[in-house]
Amino acid sequence: MKPIVNGCGVHGRIVGSYEDAGGRERDYSAQDPRLLLWVHDAFTDAFLGAHEIWGGPILGGPDAYVREWAASGRLLGVEHPPESVAELREQLVGFAGELKPDARVREIVGFLRGIRLPGEAGVVCPLLFAGAVASLAPEVRLLLGLRRPWWPAITANRLLFVVLKRYFGRVSPREQAALDRIARQPAPPELIFRTPVREVV
């Protein structure tokens, strides 16, 4: 819990201004409730969409996935995070009128498109970018100034992930490190399963 509190303290110092879709100058803070909700919803939608395309079955279904993100969002100060896919979609539609493409958006998209790593990873990065673009909803691609690749980028990435799983194993090094950290932590009392005591008649 302490890292979360410390992280929120850092976010409190992030302030600035921006021009909204209506051309009005607005101040913002990383602790603004609506901005926090937007970031939470965008991340939830992105990870859910990627999992539905490239991941396996979701335990409990997509609504359970959104509820788990809601629990983590509340720890970070998000107010009223969505608890279902329908609620998530409704909130995202509510943000649509506030979004607009501008020079900052183009700069970030250009940065992500231009990432080149040395060696074999340099070949993989453009493929991952194309897959990410193909996975976006058409209205999001339009907002970002992107076009869906003409070639089957989603299928190509699916094949890439199969190769990577065979090479690295089904659990990535980072995921394994996280699992190891969790295993070293004592479980909270509310998560410890207790054997029910049987009454002796």
Query: Is residue 198 very low, low, confident or very high in pLDDT (cuts 50, 70, 90)?
Result: very low
**pLDDT one-digit tens code per residue, 20-66:** 777 777 777 777 888 899 999 999 999 999 999 998 888 899 999 99
The residue with greater pLDDT, 146 or 8, is 146
pLDDT at 98: 84
The residue with greater pLDDT, 90 or 28, is 90
Please state, in angstroms and rounded to a whole number, the distance separating the CA atoms of residues 199 and 189.
23
pLDDT at 83: 96
Torsion angle in degrees (nearest 10) through CA of 41, 46, 51, 52:
90
The residue with greater pLDDT, 200 or 133, is 133
Residues in the chain: 201
**Domain range summary for the chain, segments of one domain joined by +:** 1-99, 101-187
Please state, in angstroms and rounded to a whole number, the distance separating the CA atoms of residues 74 and 126.
35
In this model, does residue 200 exceed pLDDT 50?
A: no
pLDDT at 13: 66
Residue 37, C-beta contacts closer than 8 angstroms, at least 6 positions apart: 78, 79, 80, 81, 91
Place of tokens 């969002």: 73
Asked if 151 contacts 143 with a C-beta cutoff of 8 angstroms, the reply is no
Q: What is the percent of the chain with per-residue pLDDT over 90, rounded to a whole number? A: 47
